[in-house]
Structure 1
């Protein structure tokens, strides 16, 4: 190789190295990503009917009874070895109206408490959908949720009217 060619090749190599170093040391690059958002109307929940177990006679014997109100059938049943009884009268599951965008999925948490002491193992049932599939707001945008519950009583349970509250929280996804 001729000395001029060698000098020219060395100069070109040096220029490439310097320009590559300059590209790494300074300048900027830009990229763009797409952005999207879907705005949904807020989900609302309103109690439309309270939970009413009706009237129950406490057991006279030493055993206990569990009183259960089924939210799907609105039936109250007594189980256990106690000799308590359900008195005639109206009963009703709690009902809530859930309103929101059709297709929105959700879950619920719920709690049942009585203000007066005496009832034990108080619990609320899982919800039952009055229309559509539980956990998904139907096409109409309104779903009825029904709740029942249960509690135990025995011969020592105070005979009185009991009042309390059922709190339902809807967590939508």
Structure 2
């Protein structure tokens, strides 16, 4: 006796299936950064006593102040300027900065650079017109042991934009 068994495997389909997804991209102009003015603390006399002084340059006003227990002073004359950078890109682009200040000659202690101050528009957003001036100040400490010499260095600024 023979039994016929029939197996059915659901309906089989032959062929292909295609779907489409949307694609988009926004192309922005590159952001550029140009140094337009260097950071210049002017001239200061080092302390003659046993105290320490901090020399600070304000980014917004370019004013130099000398504070601390030493008797250092800002010398008359000489240029004093905050550093200035021109940031150029599409209006509305948001960004952040990192910055560092170094001197080539040893002798100055606790060297630091300020956070930027935007001369126009809100810091962190390129304003209408596509150009923003960023200003930087800084600070350092000196004592009676600080070598008398001209100090030169570099202020490096990196802009990270979205």
TM-score calculated relative to the size of structure 1: 0.86
RMSD of aligned Cα (Å): 1.4
| From 140, 152, 157, the counterpart of 2:129 | 140
Please state how far the C-alpha of 1:73 moved relative to its aligned partner. 1.2
Give the unaligned 5+ runs of structure 1.
1-10
Q: Measure the CA separation in 1 of the matches of 2:48 and 2:158.
A: 38
Quick check: 1:30 aligned with 2:18?
yes
Where does residue 74 of structure 1 map in the other structure?
Answer: 62
Q: Select the structure of larger CA radius of gyration.
A: 1
Q: Measure the CA separation in 1 of the matches of 2:116 and 2:15.
A: 61
| From 121, 129, 142, the counterpart of 2:118 | 129
Please state how far the C-alpha of 1:158 moved relative to its aligned partner. 0.3
Please state how far the C-alpha of 1:88 moved relative to its aligned partner. 1.4
Quick check: 1:167 aligned with 2:156?
yes
Where does residue 101 of structure 1 map in the other structure?
Answer: 90
**SS of 1:112's equivalent?**
strand
Kindly tell me the number of residue pairs found equivalent between the two proteins.
156
Q: Measure the CA separation in 1 of the matches of 2:121 and 2:148.
A: 40
Kindly report structure 1 stretches of 4+ aligned residues shifted beyond 6 Å.
none
TM-score calculated relative to the size of structure 2: 0.92
